[in-house]
Amino acid sequence: MASRGALKRCATVFDAVKNDDSGEENLEIASEEEMEAQKEEEEVMDYKEPTMYDSLLESLCSFHSHLDHKLSKEEVDKLEKKKWTYKWVVAMSNYKWRGTGECFLKELDRYLFHGLKPTLYKHWLGIYEKSGGAEFDSSKQRLFFSICNSYRDILHHNKKPFYLKGLEEDSSTMDAYIMHSLNHIFRTRDLVKKNEAKLAKLQENVKADVLNNEAFFDRGFTRPKVLILLPLASVAFRVVKRLIDLTPPKYKSNVEERERFYSEFGAGVSEDKEAEDVAEMSESKRNSKPSDFQTLFGGNNNDHFMIGIKFTRRSIRLYGDFYSSDMIVASPLGLVTKIGEAELYKDKNVDYMSSIEVLIVDHADVILMQNWSHVNTIVEQLNRIPSEQHGTDIMRIRQWYLDGQAPFYRQSIILSSHINPDINGLFNHHCLNHEGKVKLASEYKGVLPKVVLQIQQIYERFDANTAEDADDARFDYFTRKVFPKIKDSTQGGIMLFISSYFEFIRVRNFLKSQEASYCLLGEYTEQRDISRARVWFFDGKKKIMLYTERAHFYHRYKIRGIQNLIIYSLPERKEFYSEVVNMLQGSSCTVLFSHFDQLRVWLQIVIYNDEFISCSHASSTFSPFPCHIAHLKLSSKCLVSL
């Protein structure tokens, strides 16, 4: 356990190093710090002592019960084992939630105003009613807010996004986590201001003794408490704009840098867009794209951004210094860049990530199409002991921060349209909240009915002993069983659809070694090469085309000339299955899969209307995978065989 006396001596060293600098730039910074200090002092002077009723509400608040909990050694040992037992399931608003620990969903009304500060509750209720909403207490946003307010880690993996005709559901979920974030920030500030007001009334010789009281342990190492990760600037624009709307008027008499924010995050294209991409997004071409593509990519597609947001007593400051901000909204790439700079340069750091208490990852399914490893890097960087003091009063830092237990108090909320092993891995191994976990228990509707062509769809199963061996087993099956048929065939127009970029590279290298006739359409292929490849493939000059899921996600090409479709690995996004199959001009589609693909096959592809029929299989070792296919009733448009 860290000694507060030792930390105080460290603070003296930090100050000595900090004061060793000189120059006009530092004088200017000091001037800004003085202005900030003056504003903080004014807020303390304006602070009103809470009434007995207010104090009672605070004592019953989940915010305090969560952060004031003292972990025992047994609890810490159990959390470090990362083993979770889901004990209960509750149906709620068309969803089934399952969770660890005690079930809280049946007692959602135990908190007055549902756990919200009264000012926030009244403002949110007014907005809801003004928009025509009724029965706020049973609304989707109120129910999801109550789950957030439990301070448990949350995985919602069936959220219908705004760009897939899910605007109402997406907006409800967004409103809930924004209100939860505001509630957490304002309660944190109220606690600090209350203690500041108490200390201001005491004599200097008494303060040192008073500060040993745990009631004054009200902060972390740095100020930022909420981190929201989003994939695109257009999505961040939507979230921050709504954040401003949901902030009560008394807290936003002035929104600093609003025009700059609208200019940089509003509709437009990012700086590094290639000329070809800009041309492709012209109105004439956009009209040929699906509506979800136009909605998602119709705004600012910049994926490299980061903005700090600070709340004062009467205003909101956008583009605030990260260390003085309450909330950070960033893309994974933007934040990972900052982490990389801190590793390269000694004068830079990311200590503002040390005291994040609420992490929200929204539209995780889109981030999967970017680079999920960035999210893992960010989460691993959170809640580390900082390298500098950054002006924090060390005597008032919560003890569990000093003991290195901050990850056990961080709430993580992950929102996605579908489940994925990477998302599951992050939730199971890096979200260690002492309150426990809540996870959606969801059924997915299959997409086979969206295949409009009358074609044969053949599912060829290969065996793999472990998940780690699945990629090698898939490649081995392709080279031994599938490619020889392609090589011997005189027919062209063969498309290989591949989900993973690493599989794409592997198959490309194999085709090259076999001197096969092929062309490429991947996410990193140059625009001029893409145009040439599409023409070659359609004209029959190239026998095989390799097409990746990420290339389809970012461009949604309509490929002509496909006579035979081979889905080397099923897509992450289930809607892509029917889209790619419907491009067929031939009559055959072959899908390679193992029982380790069950998240994609069982949950996303073949379930439909809860009606199933059994199918036969060649191998007796098939039992670990549920062997059912969709019942397409009498007007069957396809034949699925194994």
Summarised one tens digit per residue, pLDDT across range 614-625 is 333 333 333 333
**What would the DSSP string read from start to end of 2-29?**
--HHHHHHHHHHHHHHHHT--SHHHHHH
Higher pLDDT, 245 or 138: 245
Predicted model pTM: 0.86
Summarised one tens digit per residue, pLDDT across range 271-284 is 444 344 444 444 54
**Residue 258: exposure state from Cβ atoms within 10 A (0-12, 13-18, ≥19):** middle
- Residue 585 confidence (pLDDT): 93
Higher pLDDT, 637 or 296: 296
- Residue 441 confidence (pLDDT): 82
Mean pLDDT of the chain: 83
Average pLDDT of span 172-187: 96
Say if residue 1's pLDDT is above 60: no
Q: Which of 52-56, 134-138, 188-192, 529-533 has the lowest mean pLDDT?
A: 52-56
Percent of the chain exceeding pLDDT 70 equals 78
Q: How confident is the model at residue 518 (pLDDT cuts 50, 70, 90)?
A: very high
**What would the DSSP string read from start to end of 223-267?**
S--EEEE-S-HHHHHHHHHHHHHHS-GGG-SEEETHHHHHHHHSS
Q: Which of 322, 327, 408, 311 is nearest to 360 (CA)?
A: 327
Highest mean pLDDT among 202-206, 337-341, 461-465, 620-624: 337-341
Q: Which of 5-14, 16-25, 59-68, 353-362 has the lowest mean pLDDT?
A: 16-25
Q: How confident is the model at residue 186 (pLDDT cuts 50, 70, 90)?
A: very high
Summarised one tens digit per residue, pLDDT across range 28-84 is 444 455 555 555 555 554 555 555 445 555 556 889 999 999 999 999 999 999 999
d(CA 4, CA 25): 33
Average pLDDT of span 161-167: 90
**Residue 421: exposure state from Cβ atoms within 10 A (0-12, 13-18, ≥19):** exposed
Average pLDDT of span 299-314: 95
Helix 167-200 and helix 118-130: axis angle, to 10°?
160
Contact 300, 266 (CB under 8 A): yes
Q: How confident is the model at residue 597 (pLDDT cuts 50, 70, 90)?
A: confident
